[in-house]
Amino acid sequence: MKHCVQNGKYGMPRVLNFANKSNCLGYHVIDANGIMKSDGHRFLDGIIFTAVTGSLFLVLQGAFKFLLLDMEGRRLFVWDIDMWLGKISVPGGFSVCLSGFIVQFFHFPVVGTVLASLVLSLIFFLLFRCAGKVCGDGVPVGRWLFPLCLMPAAILSLEMVTASCSFQAIVDMLLICFCLKFCMDGEGRISVAVRIALSAVFLLLAVVPDAPGKYGTADMRLIYAAWGSIPLVMLVFFCAGRMTEGKRIRVLHGTLIVLLSISVWCFPVMKLAGKWRRPRQEQLARVSYYARNDQWPYILTVCRQMDMNNYMLLNYANLALSHQGVLASRFTDFRQDSPKALCIGSDMTPGGMEVQSMIYYQMGNIAAAQDLAFEANQYEKSAFLMQMLVKSNLIFGAYDVASKYIGILERTICYRSWAVEARQCMMHLRNGGETAYSPLEQEILRKRAGLPVTGDFVVRDNLILDLTRILESDPGNTAARDYAIVWLILSRDATSLKRFVDEFYGTQVLPGLSRDMEMGLLAATDGDLDYCRRHGVTEDVINIFLKRSGYGK
């Protein structure tokens, strides 16, 4: 019989009897001669757990922090007891609620990375303790095999940073490991049987997917591989614990050789892992995070370091230029060859609809922005889409609808302060307030003043038609003017360009022509020099055009 000593009341030592040394968690062990010995295994476990957590934190924070931030940006967790009870009552609903609860804290960059690292490390540590019991607490080789216990966490972290960006599978694995540890802590056949029964019922109710779409677009091959790695690890530890002392030494040497081989092949393995990663998705996650938080200069800095061969990235870059008021003069900073670079249009995925909603809102087409935000909100509940719906309904004066969305945001942790400000803004506007008292109300009143006089509209087939109608009702809308100018240049639509110049040249909308528009107007009119001179085309541009085109030879 082994004993454990623990400090009792008033610092006096008291002895606890345990049948198994593994139950003496954190205490000192007393041998048969009454000599107290320090339990160094617990200290070693702490070192291993800290090292794994720190390594995961460095990897996630250094390479995948924006994927974690984007994961939170596309999932809204609301503190609603009735909603929780409704989800938990469905098989698999408990893990969905737990996943949402954890992911909501990803809103804070460093906190989110720490939480993700801790959850993955906890999966490793629980499996490591279970495997140690299978191998035997007194078998040293079991502790040298700890890298094998990293397999489920490593596979699931790889799944998390692929196209799915799902945290659901990681939470499910955590619950599975908790149940496995719970079952292996029992003593006696009846106790273990009860624990297994309780764990099985819990897993059926809390983890089993309620529908095929529970994991979204996750790569199920990786999830199945993570599940299958658990019995594989347990089998290896079981075999190591049943070997003779000499074989254990050979296994220890073999393990060291394997670890050395892994370190040698680390670079090829990372290359293989890179094939699973989606660099384009990481870039989009980064710029979309900056856009949701109005960090437009960072978007331009990032885009200048990228290979801008993706229309959605160009949408974000041009949107950032527009917010800084330099779209018409600096759109040539990026290689653009189509109007889709301004607004992708055909992309009706949640991410595509989100960026289009931002673009239409910036232009002043509030109805189109509201429509796209509502459609995207049907696929993914995000705080940004809720905020867009609040602002658009406040602009139109639909206060009851805006109040519904504000009420949802008020039941969150990270967006409650914004929702409180929005409600105060709504009450002030509803009571007839004409003087803006907050930046949000200033934005609402400015957008409301620019609404088209012809009524609400949702037209997304031809961008220039929308922009023309916006400028007719709001000539001071510089964002719509810049988008119209760049669209006319990129589309190479001579008829639309000439019609736009005829309508707006010399007005507040178009007091003069940019150099690119001057060249475009010369090409659109087929070299009609008299018409071009009347509309502000300079002689220098005319000479350059004549020299390039060969006119006058």
Domain with 371 in it: what CATH number? 1.25.40
pTM of this prediction exceeds 0.85: no
Per-residue pLDDT tens, the chain, 553 aa: give them: 444 444 444 444 444 444 444 433 333 444 333 333 345 566 777 787 888 888 888 878 877 788 888 888 888 888 877 777 777 777 777 888 888 888 888 888 888 889 988 999 999 888 888 887 777 655 565 566 777 888 888 888 777 766 555 688 888 888 888 888 888 776 655 677 787 888 888 877 777 654 445 666 666 777 788 888 888 888 877 777 776 666 656 666 666 656 555 554 444 444 444 444 556 677 888 898 999 988 999 998 888 887 777 888 899 999 999 999 888 888 888 888 888 888 887 777 888 889 999 999 999 889 889 999 998 888 878 889 999 999 999 999 899 999 999 999 999 988 999 999 999 989 888 887 666 678 888 888 888 888 876 555 555 557 888 888 888 888 888 899 889 888 888 887 778 888 888 888 888 888 877 777 777 777 777 777 888 888 778 888 788 877 776 554 4
pLDDT computed for residue 267 by the predictor:
47
Claim to verify: residue 396 and residue 327 sit in the same structural domain: yes
Claim to verify: residue 289 and residue 401 sit in the same structural domain: yes
Claim to verify: residue 258 and residue 341 sit in the same structural domain: no
Claim to verify: residue 286 and residue 266 sit in the same structural domain: no
Claim to verify: residue 246 and residue 380 sit in the same structural domain: no
Distance CA 111, CA 275 (A): 28
Q: Which of 399, 424, 449 marks a domain boundary?
A: 449
- Residue 333 within any structural domain of the chain: yes
Claim to verify: residue 304 and residue 247 sit in the same structural domain: no
Query: Greatest CA span in the chain, whole angstroms?
Result: 112
Distance CA 414, CA 260 (A): 45
Distance CA 72, CA 382 (A): 8
Distance CA 167, CA 159 (A): 9
Bridge partners of 14, per DSSP, are 6
Burial class (CB in 10 A: 0-12, 13-18, 19+), 50: exposed
Q: Which of 418, 449, 480 marks a domain boundary?
A: 449
Q: Which of 210, 244, 276 marks a domain boundary?
A: 276
Angle at 464 between CA 516 and CA 384, to 5 degrees: 105
- Residue 460 within any structural domain of the chain: no
Distance CA 87, CA 408 (A): 17
Distance CA 423, CA 273 (A): 47
Domain count, the chain: 2
pLDDT computed for residue 215 by the predictor:
67
- Residue 493 within any structural domain of the chain: no
- Residue 364 within any structural domain of the chain: yes
- Residue 516 within any structural domain of the chain: no
Claim to verify: residue 299 and residue 219 sit in the same structural domain: no
Q: Which domain holds residue 339?
A: 281-449
Q: Which long-range contacts (CB under 8 A, 24 or more apart) does 320-327 make?
A: 320/291, 320/296, 322/362, 322/479, 322/482, 322/483, 323/294, 323/296, 323/362, 323/479, 324/296, 324/297, 324/300, 325/478, 325/482, 327/479, 327/482, 327/483, 327/486
- Residue 523 within any structural domain of the chain: no
Q: Is 500 helix (H, G, I), strand (E, B) or coil?
A: helix
- Residue 468 within any structural domain of the chain: no
Claim to verify: residue 422 and residue 300 sit in the same structural domain: yes
Claim to verify: residue 238 and residue 387 sit in the same structural domain: no
Bridge partners of 36, per DSSP, are 30
Strand 2-7 relative to strand 28-30, pairing = antiparallel
pLDDT computed for residue 97 by the predictor:
83
Claim to verify: residue 310 and residue 252 sit in the same structural domain: no
- Residue 505 within any structural domain of the chain: no
Question: Any residues with CB less than 8 A from the CB of 471 and at least 6 apart, and which?
Answer: 477, 480, 481, 484, 504, 509
Distance CA 152, CA 225 (A): 8
Claim to verify: residue 72 and residue 200 sit in the same structural domain: yes
Claim to verify: residue 172 and residue 41 sit in the same structural domain: yes
